[in-house]
Chain A
Amino acid sequence: MNELFEIKELFETNEKGQACFSKGKDAFKEAQMAAEECLQFAFDVEEELFTEEEERSCYNCRYRRWTKASFTCQGRE
């Protein structure tokens, strides 16, 4: 399985047509991998960063919107 295929598998479309991260809020490695290859990634403001500062991760992205279990990605819509 190549890396790009794995990253694609990290997101699934929910009932609202949104790209939902399938690994929840504790998959730090996968969130980093997805952000590394994402052209839309942009750091959120300082007070909203979820992991360590300067870490390129979907968890730190301006385009993620938290859900109860995970987040949806507005950059992938």
Chain B
Amino acid sequence: MQNAEWKDENMKILIAIDDTDNMEKGRGTGHLAQELSEMIQEKGYGTCERITRHQLLIHEDIPYTSHNSSMCFMAQVRQEDLPQIIRLAQDFLEREHAPESDPGLCVAAMEGIKSPERLIDFGWSAKKTVLNKDLAYSMAQETGIHLSEHGGTGLGIVGALAGVGLRLSGNDGEFKGQIKIGQENDIYQVSEICEIGGADLVMGLDGTVLHGEEKVLFGRFRKLLLAEGKSVMLVAPLEEKKEGVAWVTCNKKQLRAFGDERIV
């Protein structure tokens, strides 16, 4: 286990977990991340932001349990509570992970990360190449963050560390769940999507940022991506404008393709 060095009294931390699920339980790593974030808040340790999912490399040499994706969230906590928060997360993973999984936990105080660019590079590398536990522990030591394994081979530490790096990059991942408003075939103004729906901005596939009064047709998927540190709803031009509506939310395939294009 790599011990962390905590410096700030009120700090933002990133918590990532990976490789906790199996196909029989039908309860994925995202579900566990959600439960963990709720526990942290219920115990009064701080407030947690939304969870992001980060897709890592799909490769036959990586024995991922089901998807090889890592889940990460940010929390604002007090420095003195950090050891308890880590203990809470460790106990939770050891109690809740599926028997055949290899869970890993990474916790990083954002202001305390040494060489954050190296950690971000590690995250991008995990999307392109096969990494191992030795590399992960080495990187955790170099950057001064907590990394621990909690069952099986513990290989999930690689994805957990990568998840923190990718969340830190601000340019990878989808937020868990759909946005807070609307359903398929509804039409919303961009201003509503931002003010009520929780998006920071609405953007076209070509990078065009939509104005507040522009209208968007909701498709079946209404996901937000993490881009430039913001929660972004990605939209595509409608083939035929209808009633002043020129945009439609991207489908899953478009979102994944956009994500693949962002890999550094």
Contacts and interface: CB of A to CB of B under 8 A. Distances in A.
A9 interface: no
B177 A50 contact: no
Given A53-B221, A74-B23, A45 B252 contact: no
B26 A67 contact: no
Interface residues of A, number: 19
Main secondary structure of the interface of B (DSSP, over half): loop
- Counting chain A CB atoms within 10 Å of each CB, the highest count among B221, B252, B256 belongs to B252
Contacts of A67: 58, 60
A45 B251 contact: no
A48 B58 contact: no
B150 interface: no
Interface residues of B, number: 26
Main secondary structure of the interface of A (DSSP, over half): loop
A3 B239 CA distance: 33
A33 B125 CA distance: 36
A66 B66 CA distance: 8
B59 A68 contact: yes
B174 interface: yes
A46 B174 CA distance: 12
Interface in B46-89: 53, 58-60, 66-69, 71
B27 interface: yes
A35 to B, nearest CB: 15
B30 A65 contact: no
Contact of B221 (A45, A48, A52, A62): A52
B31 interface: yes
Interface of B: 21, 23, 26-28, 30-31, 53, 58-60, 66-69, 71, 174, 176-177, 219-221, 251-253, 256
Q: Give 7 closest A-B pairs by Cβ, nearest first.
A: A45-B28, A52-B220, A47-B30, A66-B58, A47-B53, A62-B23, A48-B67
Interface of A: 42, 44-54, 62-63, 65-68, 74
